[in-house]
Structure 1
Amino acid sequence: MNRSVIRAANRPCTLVVCRGCCCGNPRRHRGFDHAGQLDVLRAGALASGGRFTVRTTDCLGPCDQANVIVVQPSTAGRRAGARAVWIGFAVDDDSTEELLRWAADGGPGIAEPPAGLKPHIIRPPRESRTRARR
């Protein structure tokens, strides 16, 4: 079996951090360290020993709910029936720490989201829901 197939079969939970037009914009949420949040998430992924990864992307869509982070399930989470979970308003240290804990615990399909993160769960934009059904 080739290496890329093996890696895909064991893909960890991934935090996809929006850094488009509104998310990560210091004028949008004054006083919140957006770059620091990304540094903390990346350091957590590194410290996790590969239990989860972090990547950034351009605008995910729901700008009125910035900062948006999508928690993609691992391969095992997808096998358990999980789909990506969209988190909005992630602009405090508590939500950042809870995202780290959830991802390290396995993320969607493996571990329940921490109670403090549940109010941050948002509906994905319509075009994202349409793509997921294809």
Structure 2
Amino acid sequence: MPGIKRTTPAGCTVTVCRDCCCGNARKHPKVDHDGQLVRLRESLPAPHQVRVSECLDACAEANVIVVHPEPGARRRGARAVWFGLVGDDAVEEDIAAWVRAGGPGVAPMPAILELSVLRR
């Protein structure tokens, strides 16, 4: 609402696909899918939010994680960044560290994460 000043910081929203391919133990038997959600939620406390989505239609790139910018960065033109093939703990940790640093439009993306970005 106009004229109302936000008193709490806003964070990024992290969407984790969990449907037909992403989160599928048959497709990715070496990935701890439930553990991935737990670790992301633990490493990204408020004001960030980790949510689960049904199919994001990028099945060939499972597991998919989307990082949405915090509202201020979005107003300045930042857009969501899609990551694919996130089955490795190191990639998951790098995404979480980038989100804690501010995420899209706030913190520069580490070069190593560029390797996992999906060009939609």
Provide the TM-score with structure 1 as the length reference. Answer: 0.80
- Unaligned segments of structure 2, at least 5 residues: none
1:59-78 to 2 correspondences below 5 Å: 59-78=55-74
Which of the pair is proportionally richer in helix? 1
1:14-93 to 2 correspondences below 5 Å: 14-46=13-45, 50-93=46-89
1:102 to 98, 102, 106: 98
Segments of 4+ moved more than 6 angstroms: none
- Unaligned segments of structure 1, at least 5 residues: 125-134
- C-alpha distance in structure 1 between counterparts of 2:23 and 2:48, whole Å: 21
- C-alpha distance in structure 1 between counterparts of 2:58 and 2:5, whole Å: 34
- C-alpha distance in structure 1 between counterparts of 2:98 and 2:48, whole Å: 10
Provide the TM-score with structure 2 as the length reference. Answer: 0.89
CA contact (8 A) 1:51 1:106 kept: no
RMSD of aligned Cα (Å): 2.0
SS at structure 1 position matched to 2:44: helix
For residue 79 of structure 1, report the CA deviation from its aligned partner. 2.5
CA contact (8 A) 2:14 2:66 kept: yes
CA contact (8 A) 2:9 2:47 kept: no
For residue 77 of structure 1, report the CA deviation from its aligned partner. 1.4
1:111-126 to 2 correspondences below 5 Å: 111-124=107-120
- C-alpha distance in structure 1 between counterparts of 2:47 and 2:116, whole Å: 22
- C-alpha distance in structure 2 between counterparts of 1:76 and 1:12, whole Å: 9
